[in-house]
Amino acid sequence: MEAKKGTKMHERKYMIKDNRLVKRSNQVPIPENEPLFIFRAKDLKALPVLVAYSMIVDSLDQKESIQRSVEDFRRFMAENPDKIGEPKP
């Protein structure tokens, strides 16, 4: 998974497989009745939410993973300012 300008994004926790969202580490699909919320880097409000979330998680591993996502979001936003905007329903 390559980012622009040769910068590699960190591996994501989930992926699409057979039209289902599955956890990459064990290939277990997220149940269809489990609520899910996805942030995209083009959403102007996503970055501050990720930063706030990183401050309240307890696991150091999770904090580090979120921080890598924050760095990926910042890079995307800096390289794609024309794609950034207010979230839409």
Please state, for a pLDDT cut of 90, what percent of the chain lies above it: 78
Rg (C-alpha) for the chain, rounded Å, is 14
Q: Residue range 58-73: average pLDDT?
A: 94
The torsion of the CA quartet 64, 37, 12, 23, rounded to 10 degrees, works out to 110
pLDDT of residue 2: 45
Whether 89 is covered by a domain: the verdict is no
Q: Of 25, 39, 45, 43, which is closest to residue 69 (Cα–Cα)?
A: 39
Whether 54 is covered by a domain: the verdict is yes
Question: How many residues can be counted in the chain?
Answer: 89
Whether 27 is covered by a domain: the verdict is yes
pLDDT of residue 13: 84
Q: 75 pLDDT exceeds 60?
A: yes
The number of domains in the chain is 1
Q: 89 pLDDT exceeds 90?
A: no
Interval 13-43: pLDDT, tens: 889 999 999 999 999 999 999 999 989 999 9
Q: 1 pLDDT exceeds 60?
A: no
Whether 56 is covered by a domain: the verdict is yes
Enumerate the β-bridge partners of residue 43: 85
